[in-house]
Amino acid sequence: MRKPKKLLNDPNNVRQEVMQGLVYAYNGKLTAIPDYCAVYGNHISNEQVVVISGGGSGHEPTFAGFIGEGGIDGCALGEVFTSPSPDQIIELTKATENGNGVLFLYGNYSGDGMNFDISAEILAEENIVTKTIRATDDIASAPLSKLSDRRGVAGIMFLYKIAGAASQFEKYNLENLYQVVAKANANVRTIGVALDGCALPQSNNFNFELDENEIEIGIGIHGEAGLRRQAMTSSDEVVKEMIHHLCDDLPFQTDDRVCVLINNLGALSNTELLVITRKVGIELNNRGIIIHDIAVGHFCTSLEMSGFSITLMKLDDELQHLYDLPCQTLGWRK
Half-sphere exposure of 179 (CA within 13 A, CB side): 6
Q: How far is CA 197 from the centre of its chain?
A: 19
The distance in angstroms from the start CA to the end CA of the chain is: 43
d(CA 217, CA 64): 27
d(CA 264, CA 275): 13
* Pair 168, 45: CB distance under 8 Å: yes
* Pair 72, 52: CB distance under 8 Å: yes
Q: Does residue 60 sit in helix, strand or coil?
A: coil
Strands of the chain (E only): list them: 30-33, 38-41, 50-57, 68-69, 74-80, 102-107, 130-135, 188-196, 214-217, 228-231, 257-264, 290-297, 306-314, 328-329
The one-character DSSP state at 266 is: B
Cis peptide before 63 (omega within 30 of 0): yes
- The residue annotated as part of the active site, out of 43, 222, 244, 245, is 222
d(CA 154, CA 327): 17
222 given a catalytic annotation: yes
298 given a catalytic annotation: no
Q: Does residue 262 sit in helix, strand or coil?
A: strand
| E strand or H helix that includes residue 233 | none
- The residue annotated as part of the active site, out of 43, 59, 292, 321, is 59
Q: Which residues are catalytic?
A: 59, 222
